[in-house]
Every structure is written in C-alpha cells, then in structure tokens.
Structure 1
Amino acid sequence: MTARPEPLRDVASHAAPAGRYTRPAIVLHWLIALGIIVNIALAWSADSLPDNWVRPVIDTHKSIGITVLGLAILRVLWRVTHRPPPLPAEFPAWERKSAHAAHILLYVLIFAMPLSGWLHDSAWKAAATHPMSLFYLIPFPRIGFVMSQPPALKEHLHDLFGLIHTSLAYGLYVLVGLHIAGALKHEWIDRKSVIRRMLP
C-alpha cells in the first residue's frame, strides 16, 4: 500500500494569502509606524521637558529617525520584489488612484524626514564635539561635506534644513492622518476592510 502523500507546503515561507500583505511587509509597516509615532511624541514633548532631559530626548529622536530610514529602505526593497495586494475592485477608480498617490507621497516623506534631519544635525555648530550614535551603542557618522563648510554657511544650512525638516513634519502629519482616516472609512463606512490586510 503506497503511503499517502503529505500536503504540499508553501515553499515561500513569507507568501501571503490572497488579498493580504506578506509577513515581512506587515512587520516593517508597523515598526515604521511605531517609530514615526514615537518620534512625533518626542519632538512635541522636548520643549516641555526639564533641561537635563532635552539632550537625551533629541538624541533618541535622531536614533529613531535613522532607524526608520533603514526600515523604509528595507520596506521599499521588499515591495519592489513582492507586489502588494490590490485594493478591492468595488472601490471607485478615483479612490484607488488617490490611495496610490498618497502612498507614494507618504514614502517620499518617510525618506525625506530623516534625511533632512540628518542634514540639519550635520550642520549643527556643536556637532564636532557631540558625536552621534544610534541609541548610545553604535557610532553613526554625520554628513562630512556639510560639517566641513565654513561656520557662517553651516549656520545658514542648519536653519534651512531645520525649516525643511519642520515643514516636512507637518506634511507627514497630514498624510498620516489621511491614511488613518481612509482606513477607518473603509472599515466602518464602506464595510470593506483594508486594515485586516496589514494585521498579523
């Protein structure tokens, strides 16, 4: 009597069921989201904290920002090789196009925010005497080209990149708010959940 063959296992251990994101995409999405939320909270709380807390909070903000940048690079590389599930066909074409455009802008801001912050920090006049490290564990370089500029130009660049960083932050707040609002609309009003596609 021949043995009954075992069910075929999914050779792609990270493959996702139809209509869902893959596990690595889900993990990266929520890690990036958590990093962004924590960094927003740190940025808004820094001015109200005791003086001896400000520097550690800012250093942590920098570390999280660079970490989010690294995670975003991994997220994009994964997405290039793993097509995300399409939005339900029942959604109007304008809504699908708007969601796609918002996702692209969100990615642009997720990259632009830490890069502008890195440039802003590299132009800081005290950067040379305050080495940067990731979570006080791993030394992390500043951008040498910016650090090597004359003091007056560095001061100007510091202000400029700081303004860009702050402006991008407000744009990020708006897009994150729209992203959450859209997901809740599909969940509660349209009754076509898109949140479940990104849940473990």
Structure 2
Amino acid sequence: MPMIPDRYTKTAILLHWVIAALMILNIVLILTVEQFPDEWVRPVVDTHKSIGITVLGLVIVRLLWRATHKPPAMPGSYGRLERFAAHAAHGVLYLLMILLPLSGWMHDSAWKDAATHPMQLFGLVPWPRIGWIMAIEPATKEMLHDAFGALHTWAGYVLYVIFALHVLGALKHQFLDGEKELQRMLP
C-alpha cells in the first residue's frame, strides 16, 4: 500500500501558488481598470484575458497532476463537517477556475468588435476566439455577450467568497487548531 504524503508535491505547491498569484493579479487588474488612463484600459483588459487563459491552462495541468499524485490526507482532528466543507470548497474552486476563463473567453468571443480586434496572449501569441460564437447572427450574439458577461461577473463574486473561506479555513486550522496546515502547501 503506497504511503500517503504529509505534504503536497513540489509541483502541486508551485501550481497552487502560481495560479493563486495570477488569480489575485487578475482580480486586482479588473477591479482597478477604471482607475487607469484611457489609453491603458485596452492593454489592461487584454492582460486580464491573457492571465485568464493562462490560469485555465495551468488548472488543467494541476488537475492532471492531482489525478496522478495522491494529496496528503487531512489531519485526523478535522470533523466530518470540516472535511465536507473543505472538499466542497476545493471542488467549487476548481469549477470556478475553469468556469471563469471559459465564460470570459465566451464573453469576448461574442463581443461585436471581436473580428476586428484580434486577441493575443500577452501581445505575443495569437489566440483564437470561439468560432461558433463569432458565427452567430449579431442580435443573438449581443444577447450572448451580455449573458456570458453576467455569468463571468457572478462567478467572480462567488470566487471572492470561496477564496476568502479557503484562506480563512487554512488560517483557522493553522493558528486556532494548532494543525500544520500551511506547512502542507508552503514551499
């Protein structure tokens, strides 16, 4: 029977912190975009899109890594409700880390000016829009643009709550319960 590690692997730790940092940066960018001078708005939005697509790719790598590498067991002191909440929060975080970039990509693909404004990852790599969305007739596409935008926005709000609960839960276990919670995920 294989040993269950007491820490995450170095790869899992790296992916966790890189994805977290990119998500925080993306949140800061989009919440402050209106504070930038007008000529910076489009580059900031384009950077937000590039980071979102990067997060999507990294999350796919993280899920593949997780499928092939057993995570450390939760401490035995966790109650049944805490275990359920931790698994539920992680499941929702993974769902959001996929839903947010996809809904943003769909929102961008339904943008009326998408055909005349090519998308590039970090201004370097051409990135396609979603063809079937771009091919929809304009009135329906505008409705989808609004719907995908609303989904993206609301998923972002859910992310803020779940992210805060995730951090608060880790801090509670570390400092109030005396568990070595942070050591499992720190480099």
Fold shared per TM-score above 0.5: yes
Q: 1:111 aligns with which of 80, 90, 98?
A: 98
Corresponding residue SS for 1:152: helix
**Rg bigger for which structure?**
1
- 1:109-143 deviation line (CA, Å, top 9, x unaligned): 01000000000000001101100011011100000
Gaps of 5+ in 2: none
Cα deviations across residues 55-95 of structure 1 (Å, max 9, x unaligned)?
Answer: 00000000000000000000000000111101101111110
Could you tell me how far 1:191 is from its partner in structure 2?
0.7
Q: 1:10 maps to which residue?
A: none
- CA distance, structure 2, for counterparts of residue 96 and residue 24 of structure 1: 24
Determine if contact 1:72/1:111 at 8 Å carries over to the other structure: yes
Give the equivalent residue in structure 2 for 1:6: none
Aligned partners of 1:40 and 1:164: how far apart in 2?
16
User: Where do 1:5-154 residues align within 5 Å?
Assistant: 18-154=5-141
RMSD of aligned Cα (Å):
1.1
Q: TM-score, normalised by structure 2?
A: 0.97
TM-score by length of 1: 0.90
| Cα deviation digits, residues 148-169 of structure 1 (max 9, x gap) | 1111111111001000000000
**Whole-angstrom CA distance in 1 between matches of 2:106 and 2:5:** 41
Alignment-derived partner of residue 177 in structure 1 = 164
- Of the candidates 168, 178, 187, which is equivalent to residue 191 of structure 1? 178
Over 2 Å off, 4+ runs: none
Q: Is the 8 A contact 1:183 1:193 kept in 2?
A: no
Could you tell me which amino acid in structure 2 is paired with residue 102 of structure 1? Answer: A
Determine the C-alpha separation between the residues in 2 that align with 1:195 and 1:159: 40
Distance 2:97 2:22 in 1: 11
Gap regions ≥5 residues in structure 1 = 1-15
Query: Residue 76 of structure 2: SS of its match in structure 1?
Result: coil
2-side partners of 1:168 and 1:90: how far apart?
A: 32
Q: Matched residues, percent identical?
A: 58
Task: Deviation per CA, 1:164-187: give whole Å up to 9, x if none.
Answer: 000000000000000000011011
Given that 1:63 and 1:134 are in contact with CA atoms closer than 8 Å, whether structure 2 keeps it comes out as: yes
Q: Is the 8 A contact 1:122 1:143 kept in 2?
A: yes
Larger RCO: Structure 1 or Structure 2 (Cα < 8 Å, ≥ 6 residues apart)? Answer: 2
Q: How many pairs does the alignment contain? A: 185
